[in-house]
């Protein structure tokens, strides 16, 4: 990885991504849907459980190569079954910044697999996402 993969997001999108990551960590369906709306993603259908499953897969832990391949194959097979059952692709439109984020995520998973490293991806991302969201609210209003 290099600094060419670093990107500064506009504040509204940074906070939407933060909600997205924090929602995945906490399995918060309402926050997930809010973040999708904040990022101006267009869904082809309404199925929060499927969406959360997809998001959690994208932000899964890194694993050694054989395990990572097996997880990817299971997910790919699931997507094929959904497609054959006539289910639409989940997203109609999404911001380019999300594609960038997902590409970096894929690179990190590949690197972790190649190095036979186990890392809980959301454990690194979620605290920073939570911090970004908390900074928007004055400390006096924190629960």
* Residue in the structure block whose two tokens are 């060419």: 4
User: What is the distance between the alpha carbons of residues 47 and 18, in angstroms, rounded to a whole number?
Assistant: 21
Phi-psi region of 99 (alpha: psi -120 to 50; beta: other; left: phi over 0): alpha
Which residues are bridge partners to 42 per DSSP?
93
User: What is the distance between the alpha carbons of residues 62 and 19, in angstroms, rounded to a whole number?
Assistant: 22
Q: Note the pLDDT of residue 66.
A: 92
Half-sphere exposure of 3 (CA within 13 A, CB side): 0
Could you read off the pLDDT of 53-62 as tens digits, one per residue? 888 888 888 8
Stronger pLDDT, 47 or 30, i.e. the higher one: 30
Could you read off the pLDDT of 18-30 as tens digits, one per residue? 999 999 999 998 9
């Amino acid at each position: 990885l290099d600094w060419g993969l670093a990107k500064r997001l506009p504040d509204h999108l940074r906070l939407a991504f933060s909600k997205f990551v924090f929602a995945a960590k906490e399995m918060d369906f309402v926050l997930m849907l809010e973040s999708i709306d904040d990022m101006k993603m267009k869904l082809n259908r309404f199925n929060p459980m499927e969406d959360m499953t997809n998001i959690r897969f994208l932000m899964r832990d890194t694993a050694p190569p054989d395990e990572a391949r097996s997880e990817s194959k299971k997910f790919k097979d699931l997507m094929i079954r959904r497609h054959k059952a006539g289910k639409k692709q989940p997203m109609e439109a999404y911001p380019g910044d999300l594609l960038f984020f997902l590409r970096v995520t894929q690179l990190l998973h590949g690197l972790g697999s190649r190095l036979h490293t186990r890392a809980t991806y959301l454990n690194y991302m979620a605290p920073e996402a939570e911090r970004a969201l908390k900074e928007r609210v004055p400390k006096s209003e924190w629960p």
